[in-house]
Amino acid sequence: MIDAWELGALLLLAGAVWLWLDSLRARDAGIVAARKTCEHEGVQLLDETVAIAKIRLARNDDGQLRLQRTYRFEFSDTGNNRRNGEVTLVGAEVVSLYTGPHLLH
């Protein structure tokens, strides 16, 4: 028979695994969004990745509580510089993407 301590530890472990897998899925969605935006705007996504900047709880369009993650990425509009961009997701849905002022090609 499993006691309350073991059950709690298993639930905590399961929650941590879920958070890790969900974060990987959201990160992948952020990379895809950043890459597509950079291609569309004619700039180069640097390092081909995004980095977590902020995580909090937020409600999606249906009113459900989800994790909101903000990722930062770098891109170059000339090939000789680094500019900052930001993509925000609620769950795995991109809700905003910002690249800031840069040269358009």
Q: Per-residue pLDDT tens for 1-48?
A: 789 899 999 999 999 999 999 999 999 999 999 999 999 999 999 999
Global pTM? 0.86
Rg of the chain over Cα atoms, rounded to whole angstroms, equals 18
- Token couple for 24: 């990987």
Q: Mapping DSSP to helix (H, G, I), strand (E, B) and coil, where does residue 52 land?
A: strand
